[in-house]
Every structure is written in C-alpha cells, then in structure tokens.
A and B are shown apart, each in its own frame.
Chain A
Amino acid sequence: MNNKQGFVVNCALGALFLGVSLGVSAKGDPESGQQLSMKGDGSGAPCMACHGPNGEGNAAGAFPYIAGMNEQYLYRQLKAYQTGERNNAVMSMNIDNFSDQQLQDIAAYYASLDKPTSTANNANSELIQQGERLVNVGDWDNYIPPCSTCHGPNNRGVNENFPGIAGQHASYIKQQINAWKSGNRKTDRVQLMEAVAKRLSDEQIEAVSAYLASIPAAE
C-alpha cells in the first residue's frame, strides 16, 4: 500500500512539473475496460479469450472467474502480474503493455459484471464433506482457521484485501493455494494466506478447492 501511495504521490508530482493533470485516477472507466478486454494490450491475447465473454473463467484451464470481483483487488492483481509479485507467464505477457489507467479500466469493467451463478457439481461427497469442515470450521489443532474468518460471510469476500473465493473454479483455487505455499505469490505483506497455505496438505487443498467450487459465488 505504501508503494502505491508513493506511486500516486510521484505521479502527482510529475503532473505538477508537466503542468498537466494526468496522474492516476482512483476509478477506472468500465466502458474503456470492456473495449480493452476484447482487444488486448496489442501484443497478447485479450482477457475474454481465457476468462470468457462474461468473465466467468474456465475450470479446465484454471482460469478464474473475475466477474463481480472487488475492483481494487482486480487492479492490484493485474499490477502484481506486471511487477512480478504474482507469477504467471501467460498473464504477464498478455498485460505487460497496459498502462496503469488501462488496468484500472479493466478492473472497473470486470467488477461491474455479475458474478457467475453456476457451481461445480462434485460427485465425490467425501471430499466435499472434508472440504466443508475445513472451510467452515478449520483445523485449529494445525493452526488452520476457517476460510470465512478472513474471506467473509459465505466466503464471498470482504474488500480489496480479502477476495471472494466461493464458487471459484477448483483448479484455480488449488493452483493459487500452491502458489502461496511455495512463496511464488507475494501479494500479501502480512503473509496471512501464505502461513495457512504452508500448513495445508495436498489432500486438504483438494478438499477445500472442491468444496469452495461447489458453493455459490453470489446469492
């Protein structure tokens, strides 16, 4: 957050010296974001190629749904792919030419969409039950608090720091928990998720991902 504030201050100072009023606007423009989501950054695939026409993502590709997510959360993740705090070769390649304002616009566009309503059907009820217990009760003996402690009521998210995870594709949740676990994802200075991820077994990660994917992202 300090970096971001510093960045805003720098931009503001830059704008002063140039005598123009650019700088980073706090809000993105969803209409421009929609155009960008279809066009791409000029050297890569457009957002919708992987995240779908409605931002619903794709389970097979481990592409997350991004529709209806918190705007600042989305912006920060896009930024993180540019700075290397998040590592994903495809994402970084596809957004590296976007300006800060363009990233804001894309975030604003996807945040304005409705969250997907479909949920994954999972026939493995034992796995789902194990996941349900971990997500809602936790495994305190191993210092694993319930997900909703931070991700909010029904795991639908709290703010830019704690995204909704309910109804997210299991493949993506699994991939990200493993990214936290390995230290590959570094977007949280307080390391809340990293600490919990490091204690989750592979089996627990499977269970949590399957259960979260089976519950609705929104009402």
Chain B
Amino acid sequence: MDTSLKVTLSLIGISIGGLAIAQSQSPGEVKLPEFEQGKYVHDAPTLSDIENDPNLHKELRKVILKGRDMFMNTQQYRGEYVFNDMNCKSCHMGEGRLPWAAPVWPAATTLPDFRGKNQHVNSLEERIAGCFSFSMNGKPPEYGSDDMLAMVAYHQYMAKGAKVYDSNIAGRGFSHLGKQMPEDISYDAGKQVYEENCAVCHGSNGEGKTVNGDIVFPPLWGDGSYNWGAGMTRIFTAASFIQNNMPLGQPGRLSDEEAWNVAYFINAHERPQDPRYTGEIKETREKYKNFYQWSLYGQEINGQVLGDHDNTGEKPFLKPEILKSRSFD
C-alpha cells in the first residue's frame, strides 16, 4: 500500500471517529521490522518435525515433547515452579520459534555466555532458571532434574541446524525500537492505547482472564503477572514485544509512539517484588542499575514509588535458592 493511500485511509478512519480506530494498516497485514543485512534466519522445527523426525530416538522424542508441553502449559506446575498466571508461551509466542517473538533457540546456540544481568557466565539451565525466577515469579526446576532436562531438550531441538556461537541472529531480542524511551512518553496516552487495543483480552485492570481456573489471557500487572526482575519490565523490551506481537495476530498494528506509551503504562503498575530485593528499594535500584535504568522500579508514578514493598505475590519466599553467582577467579 502506498503512503498516500495509507494517509487517505487513516483520515477516513479518523473521520469516522468513535466507531473505528484509525488504521495505518490492513488487519491482515503482518508488519515486522526488516532483518538487518548479514543476520541469519533460522527456521526452527515445528511440532510435526518433532513427531516425524526419523533420527530421534523414541525416548528422546518423549523428552522433547515433555519439554514442549512444559513450555506451552507451564501452569501445570502452579505452586511448584510457577507462582503467577504466566506460561512460557505467554511471551515466547509461536511455541518459542518465531523471530521478533523472543525465539528460545538462540539460548541453546549462544550459551554458555557472560550475561550482564547477573554478571557471570550462564549455562542454558541457568538461563531457563532465570525465566522461572523472574517472568514466572517462581522456583526453577533443579539443575540436572528430569524436568530441567526436558526444558533443555526442547530448546536444543528448536536450535537444530542453527549455527553454534553465532549471535548475529535475525529477529532475536526486543530492541528494534532502540533502548531509550522517547522523552515525551505518556502514561495517559498509553492508558488510551491500552483501553482501545488491549483491555478486550487483558481486562481493564490488567488482570487477564481465567475460565474455570484455566488462564486464557495473562495478567499484565498485579500479583498474577511477571515480577520486577523480569526483562519485560524494561520499557524498551515491552514496547518492542508489543509492537511486533500485539494485539494477537496483528504485528505492527501499533505505531512506535503507541507501543512506547502503552509499554510505559503497563509497566507503571505494581507487580511482585524482584527476588534480588535487598529489603531497601533505593539500594536495590542502585545495586542493579544496569537493569533498572530501563524500568520504572523505584520510581515515583502517580504518587507511589513502584516496587517499594515486600509483596512476593502467591510465592511464599523472595529468592529461589538456585540463583547463585559464580566466578572463575
């Protein structure tokens, strides 16, 4: 569609007002960032590939499928590994395979590697444990356990055919909009974007939606959502995720500005405490400044300092014991 036609259509959209939200694209269009030159694209295996790969030992196939099942329905471990309403697939859209939707296979090809977040070299198991500790507000499966093995096997199989230790990966991560949020970012504008595009599924208070105990739409803030240590609390991560994946099935529906504003609005709400909390909000923010500089943790929003509490949600402890630093000095 050429620009002038888009402008015309947008104007028609605006003039209809009230009845329709101004559209900059047709709803069927998938608008994603271009892959940068030189980045490599990996076509991760599908469920049918797992089922039909003649080279998989039947025992291994079983383990990979178990890992996939854990990934898709992580709620079956509610109260054991997971203490909020999230599943792995809530953020890693498309079974963890899709570019621009946090594909998980790069973890299998680029780890062990140094991670800025915890300042040491992490294994794939530790990376998975990180997700459980922060995004799932939970307690990771033990290292070397059957469940951890299943998770690792799924990640590794998704990486089948991908280049090992080549981090020049297309569609990885969440920073296509850059890291620095715009200076005129707006809570109120974000609220409006939220109400028009997100609330129909995630609820007007970000509470998500459950049917007979089954989670359909994950909560975006509050006790049921990711905690203050999750990568998604960073405004740039959320903005990029939202623009490329939300509303579901409409990548690129929201403009850059709308994505930034709604990411800000969502992450300007309370959520369970970061397991790294020292007991003092300013101290914690200072200690992990390289992380919190991108989030609103410890900032005052609408008269409240975010994260200044010891609420761990449904989880009866703060920090999983499994999270440990390591050094080779």
Which residues of chain A have a CB within 8 Å of any CB of chain B?
A: 2-3, 133, 137-138, 140-141, 143-145, 149-150, 152-153, 156-159, 161-162, 189-192, 194-199
Given A2-B18, A137-B47, the answer on whether A144 and B249 have CB atoms closer than 8 Å is yes
- Find out whether the CB atom of A140 lies under 8 angstroms from the CB atom of B94: yes
- Find out whether the CB atom of B27 lies under 8 angstroms from the CB atom of A198: yes
- 11 more A-B contacts (CB under 8 A) besides A152-B214, A190-B200? A140-B98, A141-B94, A143-B30, A145-B93, A145-B248, A152-B211, A152-B216, A194-B27, A195-B249, A197-B28, A198-B27
- Find out whether the CB atom of A140 lies under 8 angstroms from the CB atom of B26: no
The answer to the question of B95 belonging to the interface, with a C-beta cut-off of 8 Å to chain A, is yes
The answer to the question of B290 belonging to the interface, with a C-beta cut-off of 8 Å to chain A, is no
Interfacial chain B residues near A150, Cβ < 8 Å: 201, 216, 248
Q: Report B158 CB to chain A, min CB distance, Å.
A: 13
The answer to the question of B1 belonging to the interface, with a C-beta cut-off of 8 Å to chain A, is no
The answer to the question of B196 belonging to the interface, with a C-beta cut-off of 8 Å to chain A, is yes
Interfacial chain B residues near A2, Cβ < 8 Å: 18
Interfacial chain B residues near A199, Cβ < 8 Å: 28
Interfacial chain B residues near A162, Cβ < 8 Å: 216
Q: Report A8 CB to chain B, min CB distance, Å.
A: 15
Interfacial chain B residues near A144, Cβ < 8 Å: 249
Q: In whole angstroms, how far apart are the Cα atoms of A61 and B214 in the complex?
A: 34
Residue from A140, A191, A198 with most neighbouring chain B CB atoms (10 Å): A191
Interfacial chain B residues near A189, Cβ < 8 Å: 20-21, 196, 200
Given A3-B19, A140-B98, the answer on whether A196 and B216 have CB atoms closer than 8 Å is no
Q: In whole angstroms, how far apart are the Cα atoms of A153 and B247 in the complex?
A: 20
- Find out whether the CB atom of B250 lies under 8 angstroms from the CB atom of A191: yes
Given A137-B47, A194-B27, A198-B28, the answer on whether A153 and B214 have CB atoms closer than 8 Å is yes
What 7 A-B pairs come out closest when comparing CB atoms?
A: A198-B28, A140-B94, A191-B27, A195-B27, A153-B214, A195-B249, A194-B27
The answer to the question of B251 belonging to the interface, with a C-beta cut-off of 8 Å to chain A, is yes
Interfacial chain B residues near A194, Cβ < 8 Å: 27-28
Q: Report A1 CB to chain B, min CB distance, Å.
A: 9
Which residues of chain B have a CB within 8 Å of any CB of chain A?
A: 18-21, 26-28, 30, 46-48, 93-95, 97-98, 196-197, 200-201, 209, 211-212, 214, 216, 247-251
Q: Report A4 CB to chain B, min CB distance, Å.
A: 12
Given A2-B18, A189-B20, A190-B200, the answer on whether A149 and B248 have CB atoms closer than 8 Å is yes
Q: Report A201 CB to chain B, min CB distance, Å.
A: 12
- Find out whether the CB atom of A195 lies under 8 angstroms from the CB atom of B216: no
Q: Supply 29 A–B pairs (Cβ within 8 Å), ascending by A.
A: A2-B18, A3-B18, A140-B93, A140-B98, A141-B46, A141-B94, A143-B30, A144-B249, A145-B248, A152-B214, A152-B216, A156-B211, A157-B211, A158-B209, A159-B209, A161-B200, A189-B20, A189-B196, A189-B200, A190-B196, A190-B200, A191-B247, A191-B250, A192-B247, A194-B27, A194-B28, A196-B249, A198-B27, A198-B28
Q: In whole angstroms, how far apart are the Cα atoms of A111 and B98 in the complex?
A: 39
Q: Report B96 CB to chain A, min CB distance, Å.
A: 10
Q: In whole angstroms, how far apart are the Cα atoms of A133 and B48 in the complex?
A: 10
- Find out whether the CB atom of A195 lies under 8 angstroms from the CB atom of B211: no
Complex: chain A residue closest to B101, CB-CB: A140
Complex: chain B residue closest to A199, CB-CB: B28
Interfacial chain A residues near B95, Cβ < 8 Å: 140
- Find out whether the CB atom of B28 lies under 8 angstroms from the CB atom of A158: no
- Find out whether the CB atom of A140 lies under 8 angstroms from the CB atom of B97: yes
Interfacial chain A residues near B30, Cβ < 8 Å: 143
- Find out whether the CB atom of A158 lies under 8 angstroms from the CB atom of B196: no
Interfacial chain A residues near B250, Cβ < 8 Å: 191-192, 195
Complex: chain B residue closest to A189, CB-CB: B21
Q: In whole angstroms, how far apart are the Cα atoms of A194 and B28 in the complex?
A: 7
Q: Report A135 CB to chain B, min CB distance, Å.
A: 13
Complex: chain A residue closest to B94, CB-CB: A140
- Find out whether the CB atom of B249 lies under 8 angstroms from the CB atom of A143: yes
Residue from A137, A140, A189, A190 with most neighbouring chain B CB atoms (10 Å): A190
Q: In whole angstroms, how far apart are the Cα atoms of A149 and B21 in the complex?
A: 23
Q: In whole angstroms, how far apart are the Cα atoms of A149 and B200 in the complex?
A: 13
- Find out whether the CB atom of B211 lies under 8 angstroms from the CB atom of A158: yes
Q: In whole angstroms, how far apart are the Cα atoms of A192 and B199 in the complex?
A: 13
Interfacial chain A residues near B249, Cβ < 8 Å: 143-145, 192, 195-196
- Cβ-neighbour of A153 out of B48, B93, B211 (below 8 A): B211
Q: In whole angstroms, how far apart are the Cα atoms of A196 and B249 in the complex?
A: 6
- Find out whether the CB atom of A143 lies under 8 angstroms from the CB atom of B216: no
- Find out whether the CB atom of A190 lies under 8 angstroms from the CB atom of B94: no
- Find out whether the CB atom of B212 lies under 8 angstroms from the CB atom of A153: yes
Interfacial chain A residues near B28, Cβ < 8 Å: 194-195, 197-199
Residue from A143, A158, A159 with most neighbouring chain B CB atoms (10 Å): A143
